[in-house]
Structure 1
Amino acid sequence: MTTITIAVTGSISAYKAADIISELGKLGHDVTVLMTEAAQQFITPLTLQVLSKNPVHTSVMAEDRPEVVNHIDLAKQTELFLVAPATADTIARLAQGRANDIISAVALALPSSVKKMIAPAMNTMMYDNLLTQANIKTLEKVGFKEIEPRVALLACGDLGKGALATVDDIISAVQANLLD
């Protein structure tokens, strides 16, 4: 059983994290969930807690167990780190090495041996923006693998590349990465 930490960020596609978590659990993986404040506006931590069968972590300042530093302990337990959906903001924070929320703090503390993946989800113009593309390239240089978004009719009404990859494609990419 692999310990997978899934980081859920504030995209309309955050609701799909429920299916991703459920499928990973069915495959026998132990899933830990991290959520940004914005993600909690789209789906509740309770939903993801029930599906993952683990506590959901929403704050870098929450230190429930005095014997450990939470974000460091979570990073040490992680074998594969997946950000799905990955917003432009989270991608930028990860590329800058920031640690101002639970997701970026855990990401920064990950041992180098941990497999890391992002599944971007955003408007086409945001995804194609040179800054976002530079941030993705920066993350690739430090070991992140991108699960590319798909072309679809987006929530804003635009048609283009930026929709979160399908749940099946994300699960397949995770499984393939675990075999590498």
Structure 2
Amino acid sequence: MNIVLGITGSIAAYKAAELASQLMKRKHEVHVVMTRAATEFITPLTLQVLTRQPVLVTLDDEKQSWKPGHIELADQADLFLVAPLSADTLGNFANGLAPDPLSSIYLALPKATRVLLAPAMNGKMWDHPATQRNVAQLVKDGCEFVGPAEGELACGYEGLGRMSEVAEILSALG
């Protein structure tokens, strides 16, 4: 399976390395696309080594080819998986905004492409009416969600908002 793995700005981004590794062990082809905020938590080089593929962070990264790489990734994806999914990127997806390659790929996906989202954010952010409106819109658009989970959050709060564990995300792949 050809998987586009999106990683956004969240402390949970460190779990993306294990997720990428497990996907590779299952013989999937994994193409990582990161937001700039994600690179504050984990380096593109880590994911490049694990997936044996270049990592897309900015549209400048596409200068290696004449083709728009984000469109090619969208066309070839069997699964578009974002783990962790921040409130910011969730809002971009729900509102059709494309300020970065990850959001651009989401908008360019063929309708038949499966989208699986694993949110990670503070529980207050998750519970906010604007976030819940965005989640409802994405569900209406055909996206699937795994999580968020309950537990201790990096911000010191306890509650809903943790990214689901890698095993749960892998299980959701079917």
**Do the two structures share a fold, i.e. TM-score over 0.5?**
yes
For Structure 1 versus Structure 2, the TM-score category normalised by the shorter chain is over 0.9
Q: Secondary structure at the match of 1:116?
A: strand
Question: Once the two structures are superposed, what CA deviation does each residue of 1:24-58 show, in whole Å capped at 9, x if it has no partner?
Answer: 11011000000000000000000000111111000
- Corresponding position: 1:37 with 2:30: no
- The residue that corresponds to 1:27 in the other structure is 26
8 Å CA contact 2:146–2:164 kept in 1: the answer is: yes
Q: d(CA) in 2 for partners of 1:118 and 1:128?
A: 16
2:62 aligns to what SS in structure 1? coil
Count of matched residue positions in the alignment of Structure 1 and Structure 2: 174
Distance of 1:62 and 1:127 partners within structure 2: 32
Alpha-carbon distance, 1:63 to partner = 2.6
Give the TM-score of the pair, scaled to structure 1.
Answer: 0.94
The answer for unaligned runs of 5 or more in structure 1 is none
2:143 corresponding residue in structure 1: 144
The alpha-carbon deviation at position 77 of structure 1 amounts to: 1.1
The 4+ residue runs of structure 1 with deviation greater than 2 A are 60-67
- 5 Å-filtered alignment, 1:64-79, equals 64-79=63-78
Deviation, structure 1 residue 143: 1.2
RMSD: 0.9
**Between the two proteins, what is the percent identity of the paired residues?**
46
The normalised TM-score by structure 2 is 0.97
Counterpart code for 2:40: Q
User: CA 1:96–1:61 in structure 2 vs 1: closer, same or farther (change >3 Å)?
Assistant: farther
Shift in Å, 1:74: 1.0
Contact 2:56 2:62 (8 Å CA) reproduced: no
Matches within 5 A, 1:80-159: 80-159=79-158
Where does the alignment leave 5 or more consecutive residues of structure 2 unmatched? none
